[in-house]
Chain A
Amino acid sequence: MNIDTMKLKDIFEKQPVARDFFDSIGIELFDENLTLQEYIEKVDEETLEDLGLSKDFILENFKEFLNNLSGIEENSLHKVNSITIVGGYNKSGEKENIEIEIKTGEIISIVGPTGSGKSRLLADIEWMAQGDTPTKRRILLNGEVPDRDLRFSSEFKLVAQLSQNMNFVIDLSVREFLLLHAESRFVENKEDVVDKVIKKANELAGEKFKGDTPLTSLSGGQSRALMIADTAILSKSPIILIDEIENAGIDRKKALELFVKEGKIVLMATHDPILALMGDKRFVINNGAIVKVLETSKEEKELLSFLEEIDKTLLYYRNRLRYGERLFKNK
């Protein structure tokens, strides 16, 4: 569309969210029967001065705002089916001999001692490194070098993150907040999507909650469940990075299944054997490089059920403790 000759009301008809721009810079839309240029000429200087705005600023930024909106539509076509990590160098300057592709639906655990370079690997992925980070790694999307501009696109974020330390800090109900998130992503049929997130979160959480529950009164397990369901369904990022998930008040297996079902790539930085063995593979990091890629073996999968039994036993005793009961060797 040609923004220069169009009346504002016609622009808004095509892009209703374009109105938000004027609201966010604090300028009233007093006449929509004007073109952008005509409108700007009529905004009085004193208002601009008070707000710290200039006519050029409004003109350029409104156009950029509309560009970003159309970029969102293009980006939604930008589907990531795989990422490839092309090795660089370790901290001693030796070659990291690896080129590995991770496909959507895969769950990868990342293990290694503190300071081994786990965070740098995850940062390389997030930044879509092209030999321009200390490790000299390269990251490909769908086997190709990604467009450099994608790094700063607010609409295309490669990685969504979940960690133990994250909280909801906003004072809204679950539903109100999810609607806000859906709006910021320009999701159509947002009510349905929000319902789906709440439903899925309740399937993951030990204790149920409703849409009108305030975010800040959710329990730890409920918060985590909601973050997981929201990230799986509402976040467009194709990669989910998980930094441990505590095994309390939440079904971790179902959580991972949800990510896989939503077509995500899951990377987990964890030293919890139960979580790590739920993954398909694990990357072993040492001295700044991936030194081994281990597929979860059949024996390890069997071990997983054994570990889960231990975990259940611990949970049983924890609950007895919580309710003031005595603990006995035989359950």
Chain B
Amino acid sequence: MKLITISGPPSSGKTAVIMKVIESFKLQKIKVGVVKFDCLLTDDDLLFKKHGIPVLKGLSGALCPDHYFVSNIEKCFNWGLEQGLDILISESAGLCNRCSPHIKDITAVCVIDNLSGLNTPKKIGPMLKSADIVVITKGDIVSQAEREVFAAKVRQVNPTAKILHINGLTGQGAYELTMLLMESDDVDTLEGKSLRFSMPSALCSYCLGETRIGEKFQVGNVRKMDV
């Protein structure tokens, strides 16, 4: 089975892109399942189910979403194997821009949209910078010039990635992405694999439920601004 991690800022079009990619895979008789990671709530699993796509849902709730991801991905991977999938796609949003679910030797995709602003590529960390494939969405509603400038900004922060433009509404470009994804290696297990980059860490009183503001309540890994 191939595993693909797809991440990207909220509302960048990850789910739409995945739906179109799976439609295209179905025509090629390739069996794809999805594991959808989110924080508070998602109905996207129903959307996948409606289309007969095997899906798992993981809500991280009060935990750091990406820590939750990495603690669960192996289990999800094994589920995918049991389902007899050819490809398992994991979808997660990079919420703090410093997180990244990308795993070494596993194809990593970052979805980012043309409307998010020209400075956005700079602001996103390893999720974008260490991705193998960058998918740019919402190109159908901005000018050619903005698309070109935006792609150049993405190229600046990730000079090695393959950049694809996909229209999440019509699916234009999705077929091309399936071709790229098929080039990924099959893997038998995630055991022993590691993340491409360490996740942001914190272990302070607030991690443990502290809510009060003030120096005396702050214990552990606490950092202060220069003011």
**Residue positions of A touching B, CB distance < 8 A:** 20-21, 24-26, 49-54, 57, 60-61, 64-65, 67-68, 119, 123, 127, 132-134, 151-152, 154, 157, 160-163, 165-170, 177-178, 180-181, 184-185, 223, 227, 230-231, 234-235
Contact = CB atoms under 8 A, between A and B. Distances in A.
Of all A-B residue pairs in the complex, the 5 with the closest CB atoms, nearest first, are A52-B125, A184-B152, A64-B159, A52-B126, A152-B162
Interface in B125-173: 125-126, 129-130, 139-146, 148-149, 151-160, 162-164, 170, 172-173
A134 B27 CA distance: 10
A119 B170 contact: yes
B222 interface: no
Interface string B85-112: 0000000000000101000000000000
B64 interface: no
B129 A57 contact: yes
A167 to B, nearest CB: 6
A64 B143 CA distance: 28
B145 A123 contact: no
Contacts of B114: 169
B83 interface: no
B3 to A, nearest CB: 21
Contacts of A152: 162-164
Contacts of A26: 122
A230 B143 contact: yes
Nearest to A133: B175
Contact of A230 (B145, B160, B162, B175): B145
Residue of B125, B144, B163, B170 with most chain A CB atoms under a 10 A cut-off = B144
B160 A61 contact: yes
Residue of A133, A184, A235 with most chain B CB atoms under a 10 A cut-off = A184
B115 interface: yes
B207 interface: no
A235 B144 contact: yes
A181 B145 contact: yes
Contacts of B143: 166-168, 223, 227, 230
B121 A24 contact: yes
Contacts of A162: 144
A162 to B, nearest CB: 6
Contact of A119 (B160, B172, B179, B198): B172
A26 B100 CA distance: 17
A68 B161 CA distance: 12
Contacts of A154: 151-152, 154-155, 163
Interface of B: 27, 98, 100, 114-115, 117-118, 121-122, 125-126, 129-130, 139-146, 148-149, 151-160, 162-164, 170, 172-173, 175-176, 179, 197-198, 200
A2 to B, nearest CB: 19
B100 to A, nearest CB: 7
20 contacts: A21-B159, A54-B197, A60-B160, A61-B129, A64-B160, A65-B156, A123-B175, A154-B152, A165-B140, A166-B142, A166-B143, A166-B144, A170-B146, A184-B148, A184-B149, A185-B148, A230-B145, A231-B144, A234-B145, A235-B145
A148 B78 CA distance: 35
Contacts of B197: 52, 54
Contacts of A57: 129-130
A168 B146 contact: yes
A88 B157 CA distance: 38
A265 B143 CA distance: 19
Given A119-B170, A166-B142, A230-B143, A25 B152 contact: no
A225 B155 CA distance: 28
Nearest to B98: A52
Contacts of A234: 145
Given A166-B142, A230-B144, A132 B122 contact: no
B102 to A, nearest CB: 11
A169 B146 contact: yes
A160 B152 contact: no
Nearest to B118: A170
A119 B27 CA distance: 18
A250 B144 CA distance: 18
Nearest to A129: B176
A173 B92 CA distance: 36
A50 B176 CA distance: 35
Contacts of B156: 20-21, 24, 65
A54 B149 CA distance: 26
